[in-house]
Structure 1
């Protein structure tokens, strides 16, 4: 998450629940149409905290879903994990009462980042005012949490991007980053299919998000390069299975039942196409340096 020295030894990217109060058109199909059709019985927060304590490592636990705030006992889970570890959260901020409770009960010094994803079409479909999102955003900022708004650059949203950003700025939503869409829309694969005009609009409005240009310039694979994923960083599925990363399903046991065992040394990346470029940049033994989103560079 940062180039500065960090106080944690291991990182876990945890898909902790299938539950979600949104049904975004651009959600990953595996999540939207498969996982969200069944809600597994999530483990008790106390068990998860115990399993992380048993690792005897200081960890950073990234939590996503689904919607993390819908995990049963989520605030208690966060309070328990942050006694020893750090957490980060990707949330849609559509649970204002739980957000307010989280802000009052969880130590902001143990929360590395809160990414507050903006899903404007879904909020409009459900009649959820953007002012409500902004209020939760300001509550978290006011309580000392490092929270950033994230706007997904789904192709149909691009014509309204500037207007939406202006509206959000007027509501006090700052900082705000915009992130390229990765997936298929109307038979075209993105981010490769953005037009030149769309690319320029994206780079102009990326904010501090440093990875839009690498995505747009085709930095989508690191096959054969040594990577610490599976050794010091891991993907945890909704069932507790620990995998190498989002792109590589190599299994290292199960976190919930206590069978998890990490790899002993870095292994070459076998993925033909990576899913989460920011994680690759953090976990590769010799990562390339991303060019600023606003820097001038020729298109490949």
Structure 2
């Protein structure tokens, strides 16, 4: 998922925990109302590290949830994975363990930290934006490629500019804004944005380069050969390894050691994709969009 040859051979998009300290209105319903309400017993960090090591490949492990920092022993997990692999994280940074993470995990082994802001939820919970900025700056100062993420949920568009001003005043200088994917007041998004809203989004996307294809309606690659299932995979909270977020074809279970990848690229069967950035990285012959870079979207 980078323009230059990557130092890893396989990529895993791992939903590692259902636990979350936020309850965002725009979270995907399957996550907000189903997964996040059912906490499972997460595997031991040492077991997961061994399973990835046993694959015999250098991996990039994207970690999301839920909130990754709520995975029991998360910093130890990251420290273990970073010895032989690379990681990236989607987090809300509302954790007291961020500074410990910055001390114990080498920044050179972390491809990206995407730090979601979720302003309405922070305000509801009384989470100070200064605490977010402190954790964000701790990562940046330690050399991590950390980027703030603002989800452009339709009711937030009117306050977006003011929120950006607050963030910049606190030193949060790398901000990306991404389209909302879902249904709001009977309208499906990203198709439901007005032309005026689209212009606002494209003018304020920051480092996030995938808003343009989303707004252009690039939502299906059905029939096109894809490396998903061969060198890139989705791992569910139970350890099941699937082809990708959009296609639930199973290849066994990572936790119990039964995972076996596919041997050949197969055409995409999805009518509508969920994570466009991954598709544009895993397709055998993807369309090109300027500025493509390592990224993992919130699903």
Q: Which bracket does the TM-score occupy, shorter chain normalised?
A: over 0.9
Look up the match of 1:57. 57
Q: How many residues align?
A: 292
User: What's the secondary structure of 1:83's corresponding residue?
Assistant: helix
Does the 8 Å CA contact 1:213/1:291 hold for their aligned counterparts? no
Look up the match of 1:267. 266
CA–CA separation in structure 1 for the residues paired with 2:148 and 2:209 = 15
Look up the match of 1:178. 177
Answer 1 or 2: higher relative contact order, Cα 8 Å, separation at least 6: 2
CA–CA separation in structure 1 for the residues paired with 2:240 and 2:72 = 19
CA–CA separation in structure 2 for the residues paired with 1:5 and 1:162 = 37
User: What's the secondary structure of 2:159's corresponding residue?
Assistant: helix
- 1:93-132 superposed matches below 5 A: 93-95=93-95, 97-132=96-131
Question: How much has 1:290 moved relative to structure 2?
Answer: 1.9
CA–CA separation in structure 2 for the residues paired with 1:257 and 1:291 = 40
Question: How much has 1:38 moved relative to structure 2?
Answer: 1.1
Summarize deviations over 1:220-263 as a string: whole Å, max 9, x none: 00000000000000000000000000000000000000000000
CA–CA separation in structure 2 for the residues paired with 1:292 and 1:279 = 14
CA–CA separation in structure 1 for the residues paired with 2:2 and 2:24 = 29
CA–CA separation in structure 2 for the residues paired with 1:21 and 1:223 = 36
Question: How much has 1:76 moved relative to structure 2?
Answer: 0.2
Look up the match of 2:19. 19
Look up the match of 1:236. 235
CA–CA separation in structure 2 for the residues paired with 1:207 and 1:106 = 27
Question: How much has 1:57 moved relative to structure 2?
Answer: 0.3
Distance 1:254 1:31, change over 3 A: same
User: What's the secondary structure of 2:160's corresponding residue?
Assistant: helix
RMSD of equivalent CA atoms: 0.9
User: Taking structure 1 as the reference length, what is the TM-score of the superposition?
Assistant: 0.96
Q: Say yes or no: does 1:66 pair with 2:66.
A: yes
Question: How much has 1:3 moved relative to structure 2?
Answer: 1.1
Summarize deviations over 1:76-130 as a string: whole Å, max 9, x none: 00000000000000000000x2001101111110000000011000000000111
- 1:61-210 superposed matches below 5 A: 61-95=61-95, 97-210=96-209
CA–CA separation in structure 2 for the residues paired with 1:197 and 1:121 = 23
CA–CA separation in structure 2 for the residues paired with 1:252 and 1:160 = 44
Does the 8 Å CA contact 1:213/1:292 hold for their aligned counterparts? no
CA–CA separation in structure 2 for the residues paired with 1:117 and 1:127 = 16
CA–CA separation in structure 2 for the residues paired with 1:291 and 1:52 = 32
Question: How much has 1:33 moved relative to structure 2?
Answer: 0.3
The runs of 5 or more residues in structure 2 that have no matched partner are 293-299
Question: How much has 1:291 moved relative to structure 2?
Answer: 5.2
CA–CA separation in structure 2 for the residues paired with 1:208 and 1:146 = 12
Deviates more, 1:7-16 or 1:202-211: 202-211
Look up the match of 1:276. 275
User: Taking structure 2 as the reference length, what is the TM-score of the superposition?
Assistant: 0.97
Summarize deviations over 1:119-148 as a string: whole Å, max 9, x none: 000000000111110000000001111100
Question: How much has 1:292 moved relative to structure 2?
Answer: 6.8
